[in-house]
Chains A and B, each alone.
Chain A
């Protein structure tokens, strides 16, 4: 959480006008994609990452929904940051997330019904997704709307990228499919790879393997970038 306090301090210093995509702003957008990834580095939003990554399609929808909610939510909170009473700021944050999530839920129900059934409980889970409250509290409350927007999009995208990577391996190795298409052949008809005795790993569709997959990604990431390893 060291970065969090730093960001708040930085925000309090009056900054000179800077271009929309200055180096610093670009960093807000790109940092969470890799070196400050919400899942692998900040360890936020793990619960939903475990739950929905058994298949690619729900992961992508979840990623898009979170980008929408976090991008807009961060802007709303940032616009209100000077008028929010600090005593009830967490409640205000919750109301903003809940309202946005209800909007997403209703829109999905109206225009993508099957998908909304598939996601059912997970849409509600966005409210409790720690990334959202985490970014509101740590960033949007102390920064302007444009910066907060970039931070929201960046963090949600970083979360989404990880979801998609994990879902890719879980769907491919667990069910032998990608987006439901049987890319490895048919396990019942024994075509493709299955003709040579390959079997799907049923473990991959269960939640623990998501955790292990995330763990492997963290391992790879930290061994490539030694600066990420904390000293103890």
Chain B
């Protein structure tokens, strides 16, 4: 063999060349596929928002609307009823769709005086209004996020969808499942005297079938306490930010 592969200089040169080649190839592939991936993410967001409004696949209500119909249905049910809320004022703009809750959270972290932009989607289905609030929080391992739709009195939840990046399959990952998610439907976010309370994912609240809708609590998932607490915090904080604006709407 001509090359002495044991020399230190050879090892270093090999490592550098390898990293450069692999890096270039991966960057190339990533930029070629990027338009496709972005389009898929947009479709997913539309499907999520529609799902929180109770618009799902006609055959399987636990599935999203088909990807190829997402844009059409989104235009039909939500259209340009998209708002950016800052404090208690709202601006109607389709830019709302592009606002990422994560980025707004990060900006607020860097600058406590930053006035965050909050996207709000107002869907109309069968003459009813759905105020869809996107939210983001932390589960046990990684990020969790969701879309919760509220009625026009901002008192009860009309639909919810949760998703996660890396919760434990079979435990925390169950926040995606219908049995957990559907418990939120009809649940009150205000207490009896009308103060904001959010919804708690609660262990042993003596209401496993979720018959009581006015106790501001849903039954927790077995074996996923931290993910459940994450959902509680996310829902509580996510909707509270919109409260000043909702108050002005109520008046």
Contacts and interface: CB of A to CB of B under 8 A. Distances in A.
Interface of A: 51, 82-88, 91-92, 95, 99, 102-103, 106-107, 109-111, 113-114, 117, 120-121, 205-207
B33 A95 contact: no
Interface stretch (B18-26, B90-98, B242-250): B18-26
A91 to B, nearest CB: 8
Contacts of B22: 95, 99
A88 B11 contact: yes
B15 A82 contact: no
Interface residues of B, number: 26
Q: For the complex, would chain B's binding face be called helix, strand, loop or mixed by DSSP majority? A: helix
A95 B25 CA distance: 12
A61 to B, nearest CB: 16
A103 B6 contact: no
Contact of A85 (B14, B19, B166): B14
A110 B170 contact: no
Nearest to B141: A121
B40 A87 contact: no
Interface string B1-39: 101011000110011001100100110011001001100
Interface string B201-242: 000000000000000000000000000000000000000000
Contacts of A121: 166, 169
A120 B18 contact: no
| Dominant secondary structure at the A interface | helix
A87 B6 contact: yes
B14 A88 contact: yes
B171 to A, nearest CB: 11
Interface string B161-196: 000011001100000000000000000000000000
Contact of B37 (A86, A99, A106): A106
Contacts of B33: 106-107, 109-110
Given A103-B29, A106-B29, 10 more contacts: A82-B3, A82-B5, A85-B14, A95-B18, A102-B26, A106-B37, A107-B33, A109-B33, A109-B36, A113-B43
B37 A109 contact: yes
